[in-house]
Amino acid sequence: MAVKREDYLDWADYFMAVAFLSAQRSKDPRTQVGACIVNDENKIVGIGYNGMPRGCSDEALPWQRKNDDWLETKIPYVCHAEMNAVMNKNCASVKGCTIYVALFPCNECTKVIMQSGIKEVVYMSDTKHDKPSMVASRRLLDAVGIPYRQHIPKQSKVTIDFGALEDELDSTSTR
Ligand SMILES: O=c1ccn([C@H]2C[C@H](O)[C@@H](COP(=O)(O)O)O2)c(=O)[nH]1
Ligand SMILES: [Zn+2]
């Protein structure tokens, strides 16, 4: 009798992988961020990545991070992944949900997370830990007791191979 696969993705790795996959859609040449919002039934209710606002051409606005003229940087224009995930929700409310994010959220995203009723933040990278924005995020989250934790992946790598199913079917049909 066939037994079940044991190397399947667990829920948390799955949701973080969805966040990372979503980040692949970002046009930001430096930092690609993805976010995935999940409800208490393990259903994905929102996905987002960092990008220019709806209707804005990705070519028309600047992608550079630094410029003497702030208006010529991406900062005032780019929509962050977490905000997009909340705005893209496919249900009435994300109250009580968990957000999986590739990067620990900035203070602006943290405010959106808090106002949307999200109850938990799971992040992968914390490379900007000491930036004032992240210090502010932790201060805000701590103030209201929203837990945040770094994701420790069970699988270090998740590979997406579009040919995998055909390869598998080919090998089983010749067995
Ligand atoms: O909470 C966050 C923080 C940042 N982002 C996005 C915004 C930008 O597109 C990049 C950060 O660019 P840097 O050049 O590394 O400053 O990440 C986000 O989506 N969510
Ligand atoms: Zn942000």
> Is 78 a member of any domain?
yes
> Is 155 a member of any domain?
no
Question: Is pLDDT above 70 for 174?
Answer: no
Please give the pLDDT value at position 171: 76
Identify the active-site residue in 59, 82, 108, 166. Answer: 82
Q: CB burial class (10 A; 0-12, 13-18, 19+) of residue 107?
A: middle
> Is 125 a member of any domain?
yes
Parent domain of 88: 11-150
Q: Which residue has the tokens 């089983």?
A: 172
Output the domain CATH number for residue 20: 3.40.140.10
The DSSP symbol for 71 reads: G
Q: CB burial class (10 A; 0-12, 13-18, 19+) of residue 103?
A: buried
108 an active-site residue? no
> Is 169 a member of any domain?
no
Cα radius of gyration (the chain): 19
> Is 49 a member of any domain?
yes
> What is the pTM (predicted TM-score) of this model?
0.94
Question: Is pLDDT above 80 for 168?
Answer: no
64: nearest Cα among 56, 54, 74, 51: 74
Number of domains in the chain: 1
Residue nearest to ligand 1 atom 7, measured at CA: 80
Residue 40 to residue 37: CA distance in whole angstroms: 10
pLDDT digits (tens, 9 = 90+) for 58-108: 999 999 999 999 999 999 999 999 999 999 999 999 999 999 999 999 999
Residue 91: left if φ>0, alpha if ψ -120 to 50, beta else—which one?
Answer: beta
CA of 48, nearest ligand number: 1
> Is 165 a member of any domain?
no
> Is 1 a member of any domain?
no
Q: Which of 20, 22, 33 to mutate to test the pocket of ligand 1 (most atoms within 8 A of CB)?
A: 33
* Number of the ligand 1 atom closest to the C-alpha atom of 26: 9
Residue 70 corresponds to which tokens in the numbers above? 């702030």
Which residues contact ligand 1 via a Cβ below 6 A?
A: 28, 30-31, 33, 50, 65, 74, 78, 80-82, 103, 105-106, 109
Q: The complex's ipTM?
A: 0.99
> Is 161 a member of any domain?
no
Question: Is pLDDT above 70 for 175?
Answer: no
